[in-house]
């Protein structure tokens, strides 16, 4: 499974999505003749999201794909952001691939396992088999993912052509297949993104099964603005009961936006949110009125035959990107989990306009994550924020002070007041301010 390797380079964030692997003993360079059929740099997707000030930022994903070969290679790559043909930001990746990769990838999905080794920006990595689609045809490919957050140095306005392109770094193995090196969108003052979300979870009793239930999960896999030609948005739905994963069900979502010329404004949902806007799993996709008008396909999963106590168990379903597929984008992480008769995100009985807690996430939290607790006070108040376990015992105090009116935030690192990691389970974040109180449930999975 891919892990995240984070490095800072100048003003942008560079991420190599790969698993740490065997050490690299030296740098090797393939010849141009060897490169013609063995290597491919492929731009996979781009997103355009607004930052805290409302300005667009661009996130780009690409892959370095390697066929079976005993030839080591320097595949260093420059990832460039162009606005109307003008270079406005870039990220550099120093990539070396060892010999003999690719041998363990299967002929078709599912795709898993390691297939080689190398290094990215001086860090050793293991190449992985991942799913790659071209139109309706999908196969397993050996390689690694690269990703960068890019900050345009010019304003982006309606009608601008936004392009992300992968180029060989000076002295690296050249590119011979340039047809898939770029992603291009025409900016329509809408966010360009993809998202996997849960809308509801229901427990359906199995006839004659006593306390046996099928867990039905409804949601949506969506995109807006044609962020790439072929988007692999496969998911794994985890059923978490009392903080423990008890079942995992896969789901296949191969999205193909109507990727035409940039002038087409392909993939945007407009005109009353009723248009057909591409294909998902070879079936026509339509614009949907969810939280936003976006293109995609309903998510309808069933996790069968689970022994559950609906009145006593804490039950949650979590959507995760399948290994080697596009990750979830940060602004959309809060709709990836839900329990029976609850909606995704912060839970509260308060009306939205009077809610004190404005964001608690990521939820669920996993491993060494840090949970952000954001809040808003309408007037100066003495306030406390504490974390409680499912039994009502306080495990951590996050705030005890008098605060001015306005917004604020605290963070929780998953530890108790003694600095010890809390076990997997359900926890409640509780904010009290004057006579008001607000709670949010969060699941921690170790």
**Both tokens of residue 119?**
């290094």
The listed range with the strongest mean pLDDT (238-247, 362-371, 420-429) is 238-247
pLDDT in tens, 411-429: 999 999 999 888 877 788 9
Is the peptide bond preceding residue 177 cis, with omega within 30 degrees of 0?
A: no
pLDDT in tens, 70-96: 578 899 999 999 999 999 999 999 999
pLDDT in tens, 127-180: 888 888 877 788 888 889 999 988 888 888 888 889 999 999 999 999 878 888
User: What mean pLDDT value characterizes the chain?
Assistant: 78
Predicted TM-score of the model (pTM): 0.67
pLDDT in tens, 248-268: 999 888 887 765 544 455 567
Please name the residues in contact with 4: beta carbons below 8 A apart, sequence gap of 6 or more. 15, 17
Buried-exposed string 239-255: b where 16+ CB fall within 10 A, e elsewhere:
bbbbbeeeeebebbbbb
Q: What is the predicted pLDDT for the residue at 100?
A: 58
pLDDT in tens, 18-43: 332 332 233 333 443 344 447 899 99
Tell me the sheet residues that pair with 251: 235
User: Which one has a higher pLDDT value, 321 or 266?
Assistant: 321
Q: What is the predicted pLDDT for the residue at 6?
A: 30
Q: What is the predicted pLDDT for the residue at 20?
A: 28
User: What is the pLDDT averaged over residues 358-374?
Assistant: 81
Tell me the sheet residues that pair with 212: 307
């Amino acid at each position: 499974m891919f892990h995240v390797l984070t490095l800072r380079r100048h003003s942008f964030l560079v991420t190599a999505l790969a698993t740490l692997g065997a050490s690299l003993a030296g740098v090797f360079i393939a010849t141009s003749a060897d490169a013609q059929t063995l290597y491919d740099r492929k731009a996979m997707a781009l997103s355009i999201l607004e930052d805290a000030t409302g300005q667009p930022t661009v996130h780009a994903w690409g892959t370095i794909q390697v066929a079976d070969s005993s030839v080591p290679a320097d595949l260093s790559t420059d990832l460039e952001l162009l606005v109307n043909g003008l270079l406005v930001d870039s990220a550099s990746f120093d990539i070396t691939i060892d010999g003999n990769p690719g041998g363990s990838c299967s002929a078709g999905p599912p795709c898993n396992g390691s297939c080689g080794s190398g290094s990215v920006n001086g860090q050793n990595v293991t190449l992985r088999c991942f799913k790659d689609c071209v139109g309706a045809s999908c196969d397993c490919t050996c390689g690694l993912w690269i990703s960068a957050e890019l900050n345009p140095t010019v304003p982006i306005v309606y009608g601008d052509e936004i392009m992300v392109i992968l180029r060989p770094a000076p002295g690296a193995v050249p590119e011979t297949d340039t047809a898939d090196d770029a992603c291009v969108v025409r900016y329509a003052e809408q966010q360009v993104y993809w998202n996997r979300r849960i809308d509801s979870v229901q427990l359906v009793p199995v006839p004659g099964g006593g306390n046996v239930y099928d867990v039905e999960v409804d949601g949506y896999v969506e995109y807006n603005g044609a962020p790439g030609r072929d988007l692999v948005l496969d998911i794994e739905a985890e059923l978490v009961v009392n903080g423990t994963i008890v079942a995992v069900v896969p789901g296949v979502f191969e999205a193909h936006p109507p990727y035409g010329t940039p002038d087409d404004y392909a993939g945007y949902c407009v005109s009353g949110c009723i248009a057909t806007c591409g294909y998902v799993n070879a079936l026509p996709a339509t614009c949907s009125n969810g939280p936003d008008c976006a293109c995609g396909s309903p998510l309808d999963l069933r996790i069968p035959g689970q022994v559950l106590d609906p009145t006593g168990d804490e039950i949650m379903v979590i959507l995760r990107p399948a290994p080697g597929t596009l990750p979830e984008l940060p602004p959309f992480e809060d709709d990836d989990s839900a329990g029976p008769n609850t909606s995704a995100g912060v839970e509260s009985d308060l009306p939205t306009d009077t809610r004190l807690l404005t964001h608690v996430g990521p939820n669920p939290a996993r491993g060494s994550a840090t949970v952000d607790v954001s809040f808003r006070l309408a007037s100066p108040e003495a306030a406390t924020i504490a974390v409680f376990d499912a039994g009502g015992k306080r495990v951590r105090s996050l705030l005890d002070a008098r605060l001015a009116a306005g917004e604020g935030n605290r963070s929780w690192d998953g530890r108790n007041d003694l600095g010890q990691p809390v076990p997997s389970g359900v926890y409640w974040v509780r904010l009290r301010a004057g006579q008001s109180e607000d709670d949010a449930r969060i699941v921690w999975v170790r």
